[in-house]
């Protein structure tokens, strides 16, 4: 794999992640993650400052991968690999929550794929 073009979200993810035989094809984020806030199910996902705002890395990467400026609020950036800290754009796909609100007791809402893995180039 070649190093991504400088200045892109993909190049930032590549530079700030660990890649090794133990992590497989995942790019494991080595920088800041979202702070723990009670039972919120998204705690621990990678975050970075992007265009002056603190953003979830996977959302920025997926928007860039899809050629969008940003993802719609109801679209979730889901990882086909299941690794919460993976920032490999090839593992990301657009999903939508089966519920509009966070499920009680911190349980995660079921994801409904908008672009199934393998259909849009995702691994």
In a domain, 51, yes or no: yes
Spatial contact of 78 and 93, defined as CB atoms under 8 Å apart: yes
> What pLDDT score does 16 carry?
82
> What pLDDT score does 103 carry?
40
In a domain, 120, yes or no: no
Whole-prediction pTM value?
A: 0.70
Name, in order, each residue with C-beta under 8 angstroms of 17's C-beta and a sequence gap of 6 or more.
27, 28, 29, 30, 87, 88
In a domain, 118, yes or no: no
Alpha-carbon distance of 115 to 118, in angstroms, equals 9
In a domain, 122, yes or no: no
> What pLDDT score does 62 carry?
92
Torsion angle, alpha carbons of 67, 68, 74, 80, to 10: 30
Q: Each residue's pLDDT tens digit in the chain (123 positions)? A: 555 566 678 888 888 888 776 767 889 999 888 887 766 556 788 998 888 888 999 999 999 989 998 999 888 898 888 888 999 998 999 987 654 334 444 444 455 555 545 544 444
In a domain, 15, yes or no: yes
Q: How far is CA 70 from CA 60, 62, 77, 116, in A?
A: 7, 9, 11, 19
> What pLDDT score does 24 carry?
76
In a domain, 70, yes or no: yes
Q: State the residue range of the domain holding 45.
A: 9-113
> What pLDDT score does 11 carry?
84
How many domains would you assign to the chain?
A: 1
In a domain, 3, yes or no: no
């Amino acid at each position: 794999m070649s190093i991504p073009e400088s200045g892109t979200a993909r190049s930032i993810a590549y530079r700030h992640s660990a890649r090794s035989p133990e992590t497989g094809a995942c790019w494991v984020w080595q920088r800041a993650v979202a702070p723990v806030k009670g039972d919120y199910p998204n705690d621990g996902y990678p975050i970075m400052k992007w265009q002056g705002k603190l953003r979830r890395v996977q959302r920025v990467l997926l928007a860039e991968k899809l050629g969008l400026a940003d993802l719609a609020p109801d679209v979730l950036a889901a990882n086909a690999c299941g690794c919460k800290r993976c920032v490999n754009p090839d593992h990301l796909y657009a999903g939508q929550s089966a519920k509009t609100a966070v499920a009680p007791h911190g349980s995660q809402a079921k994801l409904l794929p908008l672009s199934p893995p393998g259909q849009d180039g995702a691994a």
